[in-house]
């Protein structure tokens, strides 16, 4: 990993994508450890966590996580997911946060030297290129250890650096525990077209 001690850093966590990656690797992320670990690499300017929430959900299983993150140094960006019925009659949920992530990256680019993008979504390739043209280095944090990989090849190639999250389990993973059947970001099981299926 290439970090410079005085560089200004920003973290962008694509909640659903990063959760799916960690879950596939069979470990939970300790977000306080994650923030501390990367804050020690430079001057942390901002840490964002992005996720969609179901419409008309008075209590989301994500709410305790989001509240905790909000009180512990993360800026939370949410929007209401859309519920619709597909042509087969199945209820689907669409909760794409890509535009929100890209807008915040472009807004913050003039104030940082290095962006850490916690996502493997290839849709971010053009955004990474855009902030690089503004002089910002971009490190993608995801995994190639999962088969099939949740990291798009075009995103990895565009990034200045890549960090394999599986290599950081000791630094940013929580101790193993019994998981409930419905946990945190399981609410949104991300698909190729950003539709989240429920039956």
The answer to whether the bond into 199 is cis (omega within 30° of 0) is no
Mean pLDDT rounded to a whole number for the chain: 85
Q: What is the radius of gyration, based on Cα positions, of the chain?
A: 16
E-strand spans in 1-97?
8-14, 43-54, 75-85, 91-94
- CB atoms under 10 Å from CB of 11, counted, come to 23
As a whole number of angstroms, the distance between CA 8 and CA 96 comes to 28
- Phi then psi for 43, rounded to 5 degrees? -100, 105
Q: What is the pLDDT of residue 49?
A: 96
How much of the chain exceeds pLDDT 90, in percent?
Answer: 58
pLDDT higher than threshold 80 for residue 181: no
Cβ contact 117:12 at 8 Å: yes
How far is C-alpha 172 from the geometric centre of its chain's CA atoms? 14
Which whole number is the average pLDDT over 54-59? 68
Q: Is 79 helix (H, G, I), strand (E, B) or coil?
A: strand
Give the lowest-confidence range in 39-48, 53-62, 74-83, 115-124. 53-62
Domains of the chain as residue ranges with CATH: 8-197 (3.40.50.1010)
Instruction: State pLDDT tens for residues 76-120.
Output: 999 888 777 888 888 777 778 999 999 999 999 999 999 999 999
Q: Which of 14-23, 51-60, 79-88 has the highest mean pLDDT?
A: 14-23
């Amino acid at each position: 990993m290439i970090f410079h001690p005085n560089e200004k850093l920003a973290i962008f966590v694509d909640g659903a994508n990063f959760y799916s990656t960690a879950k596939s690797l069979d470990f939970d992320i300790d977000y306080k450890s994650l923030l501390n670990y990367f804050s020690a690499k430079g001057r942390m300017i901002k840490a964002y966590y992005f996720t969609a929430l179901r419409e008309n959900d008075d209590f989301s299983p994500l709410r305790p996580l989001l509240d905790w993150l909000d009180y512990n140094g993360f800026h939370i960006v949410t929007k209401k997911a859309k519920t619709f019925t597909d042509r087969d009659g199945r209820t689907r949920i669409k909760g794409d946060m890509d535009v929100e992530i890209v807008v915040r990256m472009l807004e913050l680019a003039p104030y940082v030297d290095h962006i850490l993008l916690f996502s493997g979504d290839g849709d971010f390739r053009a955004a990474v290129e855009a902030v690089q043209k503004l002089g910002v280095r971009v490190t993608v944090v995801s995994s190639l250890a999962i088969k099939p990989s949740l990291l798009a090849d075009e995103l990895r190639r565009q990034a200045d650096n890549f960090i394999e999250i599986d290599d950081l389990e000791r630094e940013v993973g929580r101790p193993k525990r019994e998981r409930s059947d419905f946990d945190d970001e399981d609410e949104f099981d991300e698909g190729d077209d950003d539709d989240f299926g429920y039956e």
